Chain A
Amino acid sequence: MRSLIFISAALMVAAGIFGFVDYKKKEQSKEFKALYQEEKPVVQQPAPEIISSPAPVIAVKETSEETVDNTKNTVSKKAKKGNHKRIKYSQFSRADIEEPAPPVKELQ
């Protein structure tokens, strides 16, 4: 019985020493320093649309208004829906909980 306890205590001491030595080795590296730093999300500015087609001016205006209205509607709906967060069973872990990305609609 005593030998078992001595072995487990020796394991603890070894873990402490190895941990300390490995930590000191890795402490200096840049990769280790940047290990848990959070990346700030980059906000992308929407690029201005360039209309290359030689379509009549009135028609272009109409379509652009429609698209603006549609996007406004979808944004307001999403904002209403996104107020409460969905939590999955798989998020019951030590890992960072990531919010699911909003579904992207393909342009037709």
Chain B
Amino acid sequence: MANSRVTTSQKSVRFFFQLLFWIPVTAFSLLLVYNTLPYFSFNKGFSFIQERSILFQGSLYNACFYIHIFAGVVCISTALIQFSRYILKKSKTIHRWSGRLYVFVVLFLGAPTGLYMSFFAKGSFWERMLFMFMAIWWFVTTYYGLNTILKKNVLAHIILILLSYSMSFTAVTFRIYHIFFFALDWGQLENYELSLWISVIGNMLFAEYIIFRQSRKYLRSFTI
């Protein structure tokens, strides 16, 4: 029989580390949402828009941009609810409906507009290819995440949605690295490119690590 004090302390340590992870994730996600909202004034005075003023002359790029940032806001907001075990236990309908919203927004709005905009992304050829990969990988993982839950394969669903969310969350991690490298006095373009690569690869590796840990726990449950 396990010592109850030990298990309690283990649980509290786990809870502490979960808080340590989720508080910054939530805070940065909300900050991203907060900073995106002013763009819906459709004012062209933002430095991001001014830098790409030639691209914003085209109506398709203009439309894609606003749809994409709207999709980003919805994805980041809904994903925060999706990972809550409390909500999942208390009310599955919230999880289901926010999941449907997330999938719809990614498949119909976020990924296609992201793919279109990737052709005009900042950086060299390889950064554009990375943006294309992100859009396609985001689409594929979200699609299979939906497909697996429709087939009642919960484990595969968790893995695939985690991979999908790792792509959504690059929006947040990119900004963190971007500010970090700015503080280190990096040039604008180098900073942009490096932040982009680190955020994408870093998020993918982190997602893989979580999947590895989860699968180890799952496989351990079969041992006698």
Contact = CB atoms under 8 A, between A and B. Distances in A.
B115 to A, nearest CB: 4
Interface of B: 28, 31-32, 34-35, 46-48, 51-52, 54-55, 58, 60-61, 64, 107-108, 111-113, 115-120, 122-123, 135-136, 139, 143, 150, 171, 174-175, 178-179, 182-183, 187-189, 191-192
A35 B117 CA distance: 14
Interface string A1-20: 10011011001101110111
Main secondary structure on chain A at its contact with chain B?
A: helix
B35 A97 contact: no
A93 B112 contact: no
If over half of B's interface residues share one DSSP class (helix, strand or loop), that class is named, otherwise mixed; here it is helix
Given A22-B119, A36-B122, A92-B31, A7 B47 contact: no
A92 B112 contact: no
A3 to B, nearest CB: 12
A49 B175 CA distance: 46
B143 A5 contact: yes
Contacts of B113: 15
B207 to A, nearest CB: 21
Contact of B47 (A16, A31, A92, A96): A96
A65 interface: no
B174 A94 contact: yes
A18 B188 contact: no
Contacts of B123: 36
A97 B178 contact: yes
B8 to A, nearest CB: 38
A38 interface: yes
B144 to A, nearest CB: 11
A19 B119 contact: yes
A8 B115 CA distance: 12
A8 B71 CA distance: 14
Nearest to A29: B54
Contacts of A38: 187-189
